[in-house]
Amino acid sequence: MKTYFEILVVVVFALFSALYFAPTGETQTVVETAGQKFKNIKVLNDMPADQMGQVMNIMSASLGVDCKMCHVSNDKDFEKDGIDHKDIARKMIKMTWEINKTFFEGKPEVSCNTCHVGHERPVALPSLLPPPPPVERPKQPAVKPTVDEILAKYETALGGKDALAKVKSRYIKANRVEPDGKTVEPEEIWLKGGKYRSETKYADYVVTELFDGKNALKLGNTEAIELKAFEAEQMKRDAQLFANPDIRSIYAKLDFRFLNRIDGREVYMVTATTADNRREQLVFDVLTGQLVRRVASAMTVIGQFQYQVDYSDYKDLGGVKLPASTRFAMPGITWTRKIVEVKNNTVDDAKFAAPK
């Protein structure tokens, strides 16, 4: 019975990830497992190999550590054993699955962060200080705003239909600011009709990201870097959504959910459903009408992997209002893009051609 249940759970996870990870327009039937792809797997054998990076980032962020806590290095030889924490982590993964199976009908309710909350060791004793006051939702409006009203307000916030229509393409100079606030890499970004190219310059390394309207790719100098289906999906969405109030053309369905409060501001929470039935969250500032946040996620074998984009500091850049600051965040990885300069209508289509 137990064996059957375990098999079932694996099949369900595999199916789920196939749904999650199939690139748009393609049906993915065979999912390569971590057991097949990686060298020294004892627990995550049946996990889709595509999830490895996300799972490692979830574990690291949940414990507030970097890879080296469990591995011999932060950037190589991940298959090696010998660090006790790696074996403890194997036990912890099994324990987490066991808890969900036994007490939560197999639903991924408990993950590493449920207990660890960013710490290496969970704290068992309750605090003797009074708890912080609960965050309450603002009073809900008597008449719900429609999505069309929210989008119209957003269009106005960007500068209006006429100003937006004048911008056919954008060249953006920006800085990628790392979490320490000091390390800065120069970036160039080209945007045109949902197509996107960015080049980020590290000391002796240029990372290029490209979405040509159909396919996404990533290069380190001139060599291809493996792009996961979820990453490609997010690159595409970021390109489509940038300063574009025509959000209806991007998603299959949009629903206003409720009025919320984030950082003291009232916001509209909108659920956006993609054509392949994945849900994202769009957050609009009630007062300014601006799009302030997008949240997407992908299911993994140890819970949701979250990807959050925060838009802020909207200002006049090239005749329309753009978010001068965009913060990208996922477990273990964050950076902020700060726009320095915008030039309109100078981008040639050749910029989006995939290298031969």
Whichever of 52 and 317 has its CB closer to ligand HEC, that residue is 52
Cα–Cα distance measured from residue 164 to residue 184, given in angstroms and rounded to the nearest whole number: 30
Contact between 56 and ligand HEC (CB under 6 A)? yes
Binding of ligand HEC at residue 301 (CB under 6 A)? no
For residue 24, the tally of other CB atoms under 10 A from its CB is: 13
User: ∠ CA 133-134-136 to the nearest 5 degrees?
Assistant: 125
State the Cα torsion 7-9-12-16 to the nearest 10°.
Answer: -130
Among 31, 49, 63, 189, binds ligand HEC (CB under 6 A): 63
Dist CA 216 CA 195 (whole Å): 10
Residues 25-44 that bind ligand HEC (CB under 6 A): 38-44
How many residues can be counted in the chain? 356
- By CB under 6 A, the residues from 115 to 144 that bind ligand HEC are 115-116, 120-122
- Shortest approach of ligand HEC to residue 150 CB, angstroms? 37
Pick between residue 116 and residue 170 the one whose CB is nearest to ligand HEC.
Answer: 116
Q: How many residues bind ligand HEC (CB under 6 A)?
A: 38
Stretch that binds ligand HEC, among 18-26, 59-67, 101-109, 139-147 (CB under 6 A): 59-67
**Subset of residues 246 to 285 that bind ligand HEC, contact rule: CB under 6 A:** none
Q: How far is the CB of 18 from ligand HEC (least distance, A)?
A: 20
Of 201, 15, 9, 158, the closest CA to residue 97 belongs to 9
CB-based contact 299:48 (threshold 8 Å): no
Do 353 and 217 form a contact (C-beta atoms < 8 A)? no
Binding to ligand HEC by residue 152, rule CB under 6 A? no
Nearer to ligand HEC, 118 or 122 (CB): 122
Per CB under 6 A, which of residues 75..114 are in contact with ligand HEC? 78-79, 85-86, 88-90, 92-93, 96, 110, 112, 114
How many Å apart are CA 252 and CA 275, to the nearest integer?
5
Quick one: 333 or 353, whose CB is closer to ligand HEC? Answer: 333
Q: Judged by CB under 6 A, which of 31, 49, 59, 216 binds ligand HEC?
A: 59
* Contact pick of 57, 169, 288, 334 for ligand HEC (by CB under 6 A): 57
Q: Tally Cβ neighbours within 10 Å of residue 333.
A: 13
H-run or E-run covering 194: none
Tokens standing for 230?
A: 């979820």
Task: Tell me the per-residue interface mask from 314 to 333 with ligand HEC, x by CB under 6 A, - otherwise.
Answer: ------------------x-
Q: Is 102 exposed, middle or buried (0-12, 13-18, 19+ CB in 10 A)?
A: exposed
The Cα–Cα gap between 67 and 59 comes to 9
List contacts with ligand HEC (CB under 6 A).
38-44, 52, 56-57, 59-60, 63, 65, 67, 69-71, 78-79, 85-86, 88-90, 92-93, 96, 110, 112, 114-116, 120-122, 302, 332
